[in-house]
């Protein structure tokens, strides 16, 4: 039996990106029960991709009760619904086999990975204060994407002089704004910029200089996205809610690396249950952005462990 439940987890603080603000993580939890065993998965429907809690729940509820992971890949498109079910089926397969998912997937034993910590979009003053509070963190990901981000950039660098910085514009810049900012991103030691311009305007990236690595997020969903990224992006951000699960995420990582893309593994505002499978995809990649639980006031039990070594692999009781 497959069941899907909407759940809400409070954030520790209001979180803002160029598209809006939120105070809670609204997720769907999928439970698959077979032969007395239960597998769990989580997804975050995203309006940007035409998804809502209701539409995604309906996709899950429309699946045959006994569907297996191979059939699932054709039954649903890449996206949040397939993600939660795919991860729940992996969890169930591991429990049935008495093994961990990484073993079933033929991966090496996972270890902790340093993750980005994301700073919400705000005034330069509030971003500088947030950067100073988190200046001990090795990598800060800062949300930008407005026409006047220069002061925010300077403020974050002043607040956290030693942290590695990556920038996520969430499609908020025009080619003109990005071209003007790019030399300053370099000057301030920004390591990479994520989705500077709208996904529909990717062709512009082929025409302008890319002095620092440019990473495709909203423009890269699954392996079918790769041909359109050629000559425009240097890196891809793999998120399970876009790939439609761990199965396609592992395939996308292999295909992207084979085509010479650098790899980042990211997340939506979700709980430890959503991060646990992503930690497997994140092993050995260049940028890990699995900080969802760090922004929550409440999480799953048991949660993933986060410490100076970064985000740790899941215990079997949580997932996998
Ligand atoms: C907890 C962080 C925000 C997660 C990660 N570091 C990150 O930056 N992810 C963003 C995706 C932002 O997530 C959004 C944006 C939005 O407009 C609406 C939502 C969410 C979300 O997670 N839930 C709601 C639907 C990124 O890389 O772009
Ligand atoms: Mg992004």
Distance in Å, CA 227 to ligand 1 centroid? 25
Query: Is any atom of ligand 1 closer than 6 Å to the C-beta of 168?
Result: yes
Contact 32/38 with Cβ under 8 angstroms?
yes
The C-alpha atoms of residue 155 and residue 190 are separated, in whole angstroms, by: 13
Q: Please enumerate in sequence order all residues whose Cβ is within 8 A of that of 233, keeping only pairs 6 or more positions apart, or say none.
A: 202, 205, 214, 215, 216, 219, 220, 261
DSSP 176-199: HHHHHHHHHHHHTTEEEEE--S-G
In this structure, the number of other CB atoms found within 10 A of the CB of residue 148 comes to: 9
Distance in Å, CA 40 to ligand 1 centroid? 22
Averages of pLDDT over each 10 residues, the chain, 320 residues:
98 84 94 98 98 98 98 98 99 98 98 97 96 98 95 98 97 95 96 97 93 97 98 98 99 98 98 98 98 97 98 98
The C-alpha atoms of residue 215 and residue 258 are separated, in whole angstroms, by: 16
Sheet of 139-143: strand order equals: 117-119, 139-143, 164-168, 190-194, 214-216, 235-238, 262-265, 287-288
Query: Is any atom of ligand 1 closer than 6 Å to the C-beta of 242?
Result: no
Q: Is the link from the previous residue into 302 a cis peptide, with omega within 30 of 0?
A: yes
State whether residue 36 is helix, strand or coil. coil
Q: Is 239 noted as a catalytic residue in this protein?
A: yes
User: Residue 16: its pLDDT value, please?
Assistant: 82
Q: What is the pTM assigned to this prediction?
A: 0.97
The encoded tokens of residue 210 equal 């890319």
User: Residue 262: its pLDDT value, please?
Assistant: 98
Query: Is any atom of ligand 1 closer than 6 Å to the C-beta of 141?
Result: yes
The encoded tokens of residue 169 equal 């514009």
In this structure, the number of other CB atoms found within 10 A of the CB of residue 223 comes to: 17
Phi, psi (rounded to 5 degrees) for 230 = -55, 130
The ligand 1 atom at the shortest distance from the C-alpha of residue 26 is 23
The C-alpha atoms of residue 117 and residue 166 are separated, in whole angstroms, by: 10
The C-alpha atoms of residue 134 and residue 248 are separated, in whole angstroms, by: 34
ipTM confidence score: 0.94
The ligand 1 atom at the shortest distance from the C-alpha of residue 295 is 1
The C-alpha atoms of residue 29 and residue 294 are separated, in whole angstroms, by: 19
The C-alpha atoms of residue 143 and residue 135 are separated, in whole angstroms, by: 16
Q: Is 141 noted as a catalytic residue in this protein?
A: no
* Closest CA relative to residue 107, chosen from 237, 268, 285: 285
User: Residue 17: its pLDDT value, please?
Assistant: 76
> Residue 48 to residues 51, 53, 191, 219: CA-CA distances in angstroms?
7, 13, 26, 12
Catalytic pick among 95, 141, 232, 239: 239
User: Residue 127: its pLDDT value, please?
Assistant: 97
């Amino acid at each position: 039996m497959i069941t899907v439940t909407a759940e809400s987890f409070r954030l520790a603080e209001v979180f803002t990106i160029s598209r809006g603000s939120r105070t809670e993580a609204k997720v769907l939890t999928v439970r698959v029960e077979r032969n007395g065993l239960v597998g769990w998965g989580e997804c975050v429907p995203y309006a940007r991709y035409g998804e809502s809690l209701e539409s995604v729940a309906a996709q899950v509820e429309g699946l045959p009760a006994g569907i297996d992971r191979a059939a699932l890949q054709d039954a649903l498109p890449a996206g949040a619904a397939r993600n939660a079910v795919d991860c729940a089926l992996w969890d169930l397969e591991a429990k049935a086999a008495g093994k961990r998912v990484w073993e079933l997937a033929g991966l090496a034993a996972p270890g902790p990975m340093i993750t980005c910590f994301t700073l919400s979009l705000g005034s330069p003053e509030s971003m500088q204060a947030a950067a100073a509070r988190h200046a001990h963190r090795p990598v800060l990901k800062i949300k930008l994407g407005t026409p006047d981000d220069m002061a925010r950039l300077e403020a974050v660098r002043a607040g956290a002089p030693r942290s590695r910085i990556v920038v996520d514009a969430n499609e908020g810049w025009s080619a003109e704004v990005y071209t003007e900012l790019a030399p300053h991103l370099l000057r301030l030691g920004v390591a990479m910029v994520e989705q500077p311009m709208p996904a529909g305007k990717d062709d512009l990236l082929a025409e302008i200089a890319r002095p620092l690595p440019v990473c495709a997020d909203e423009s890269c969903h699954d392996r079918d996205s790769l041909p359109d990224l050629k000559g425009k992006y240097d890196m891809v951000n793999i998120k399970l809610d876009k790939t439609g699960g761990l199965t396609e995420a592992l395939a996308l990582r292999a295909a992207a690396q084979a085509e010479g893309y650098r790899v980042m593994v990211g997340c939506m505002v979700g709980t430890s249950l959503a991060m646990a499978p992503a930690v497997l995809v994140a092993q050995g990649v260049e940028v890990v952005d699995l900080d969802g639980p760090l922004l929550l006031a409440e999480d799953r039990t048991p949660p993933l462990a986060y410490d100076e070594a970064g985000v740790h692999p899941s215990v079997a009781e949580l997932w996998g």
